[in-house]
């Protein structure tokens, strides 16, 4: 059943992407060309800043839903494909199989998390270059190198908090274990743990939604991998409680 759902989502994503190829970028190409012509005359002028605001506003009015269907369709297809790979890797055929899904070891989490995080660098380049090539940005806009470099620096710095988070949440963590393990009893400590991990999983889910919606192709599998990592770390903490229970 989980695989069937992923296949359906994959087909929906491919259908949306295919539909986007049949749409034009603008409802009125002549009006768009006129705006571009006006832009070439306004560059360097005193009212150039005001014109840019006017330009972007008018262009947005002319856009069709082509880019939405293209981005969301491709994003949904990549997300569902990533999930399918996971389901086949873990040999999950039914929802019941999730109960016996095993986690990574602490060593594997540290190694793979850092390796997978490296994908965010080409992901950033691809995201902006792809949009630049298809014409998302006007010809007079600033270079895409600026956001690429700023995000690249952010991702480099993020290696530090990423590894600190992994280290702190791995202290006395019992891994490997079953990913979807549940505590035998819910006391205040275990409830606090569930709230903690629920918060980070919710944040991660919001990022997933954003990446899929924007068609951020390479960031989607990275994000889904870290969803699995968070579930692994949570499971290790829950296992700790069951191991320490008196017999």
The string of pLDDT tens digits covering residues 136-189 is: 887 777 778 888 999 999 999 999 999 999 999 988 888 899 999 988 888 888
Write the CB contacts of 77 (distance below 8 Å, at least 6 apart in sequence): 10, 13, 14, 17
Most confident range (mean pLDDT) of 32-36, 109-113, 239-243 is 109-113
Judged against a pLDDT cut of 80, whether residue 9 lies above it is answered with yes
Number of residues written out for the chain? 247
Judged against a pLDDT cut of 50, whether residue 247 lies above it is answered with no
Give tens-digit pLDDT for 190-244: 899 899 999 999 999 999 999 999 999 999 999 999 999 999 999 998 875 554 4
The overall pTM is greater than 0.95: no
Contact 235, 177 (CB under 8 A): yes
Contact 178, 235 (CB under 8 A): yes
Domain spans of the chain, in order of start: 102-247
Instruction: Return the bridge partners of 178, or none.
Output: 102
Give tens-digit pLDDT for 55-71: 888 888 889 999 999 99
Instruction: Read off the pLDDT band of 246 (50, 70, 90).
Output: very low
Share of the chain above pLDDT 90, in %: 65
CB-side neighbour CA atoms (13 Å) of 116:
19
Q: Which of 24-28, 118-122, 229-233 has the lowest mean pLDDT?
A: 24-28
Q: Around Cβ 77, how many Cβ atoms within 10 Å?
A: 23
Question: Whole-angstrom Cα distance, residue 51 to residue 70?
Answer: 29
pLDDT of residue 50: 75
The encoded tokens of residue 186 equal 């819910």
């Amino acid at each position: 059943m989980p695989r069937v759902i992923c296949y359906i989502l994959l087909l929906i994503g491919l259908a949306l992407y295919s539909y986007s190829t049949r749409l034009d970028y603008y409802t009125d190409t002549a009006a768009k060309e006129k705006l571009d012509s006006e832009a070439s005359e306004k560059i360097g002028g005193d009212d150039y800043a005001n014109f840019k605001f006017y330009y972007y506003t008018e262009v947005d009015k002319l856009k069709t839903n082509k880019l939405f269907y293209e981005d969301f369709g491709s994003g949904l297809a990549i997300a569902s494909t990533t999930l399918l790979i996971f389901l086949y890797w873990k040999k999950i055929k039914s929802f019941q199989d999730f109960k016996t899904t095993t986690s990574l070891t602490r060593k594997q989490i540290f190694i793979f998390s850092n390796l997978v995080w490296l994908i965010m660098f080409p992901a950033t380049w691809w995201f902006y270059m792809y949009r630049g090539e298809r014409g998302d940005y006007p010809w007079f806009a600033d270079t895409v190198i600026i956001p690429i470099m700023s995000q690249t620096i952010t991702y480099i710095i993020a290696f530090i908090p990423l590894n600190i988070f992994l280290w702190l949440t791995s202290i006395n963590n019992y891994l490997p274990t079953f990913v979807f393990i549940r505590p035998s009893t819910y006391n205040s400590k275990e409830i606090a743990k569930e709230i903690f991990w629920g918060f980070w999983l919710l944040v991660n889910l919001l990022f997933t939604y954003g990446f899929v919606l924007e068609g951020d192709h390479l960031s989607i599998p990275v994000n889904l991998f870290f969803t699995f990592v968070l579930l692994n770390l949570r499971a290790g903490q829950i296992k700790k409680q069951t191991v320490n229970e008196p017999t």
